[in-house]
Structure 1
Amino acid sequence: MAPFETLYGRRCRSPVKLLEVGESSILGQEIIHEALEKVKVIRDMLVAAYSRQKSYANNRKYSLEFDVADQVYLKISPMKEVIRFGRKWKLSLRYLGPYEILQLVGDVSYKLALPVEIAYV
């Protein structure tokens, strides 16, 4: 016996489950048709939500491309307990610059004109 049938003493009559051959006359065609319409509405709502979220995500993505002689900032990551440029952790600088691009090395890598004090750090 199924768990539902054991607990309640009758079979589960869900219109969503697969029906047996003679069972459609018991449930009625209108209930099955109504359940299928609800499934179709839910599926359409999910597709609309998916496309809306996809359009939001695609608007925020853009590629940055720089040319030689452009001015850019250099992003540095703050580290705990490390003093960089005279400041510690939260107060340390996030960006340095602007620095000039000397050469295009790869698709997203550039050679910058860095000052002597940070050139080999």
Structure 2
Amino acid sequence: MTKSAHFIPFKVSYSTGNYAKLYLREMGIDTRVKLSTTFHLQTDRQAERPIQTLEDMLRACVINFKDNWDDDLSLIEFTYNNNYPSIIGMTPFVALYARRCRSHIGCFEVGEISLIGPELVHEAMEKVWLIRKGVMRFGKKGKLSLRYVGSYHILRHSSKVAYELDLPNDLASVHPAFHVSL
């Protein structure tokens, strides 16, 4: 089978009948409903691993997104259904629909610019560039980027614990005043 999963948020107080109604409303398809939870073996045990994976992914989202984890449940579902399990040799989405899943993240491809308009793509790419620029550190990104940039001429001693430095133009976005510990 495809091993795809659909994650639907619900209230803990729901009965089994309410779960089934919610599933049919959200999915809108004629299938048999086998509801299960982790470590309850009413189904054929195939749901146990996806539920454990969902729990792990939700833990990560709760840590990162705090209170609005349910808003990101669709992203978790997208991530889960687009991973590459070795048991079927393709993503669950490809196995189920026989095509790759199109995400909104990939809308910057050349062929799609005409669909959504070049202005919108340009605006979005500018925002991505600004975020990326904020992540970049001295022209390199990541943990292994340089922490020490170089020695610079001291312009003035602004306080007991701060100095103002003469920075080059490529560091124009950095404030020129530094604490003595740096």
TM-score by length of 2: 0.21
Q: Which has the larger radius of gyration?
A: 1
Q: Provide the TM-score with structure 1 as the length reference.
A: 0.30
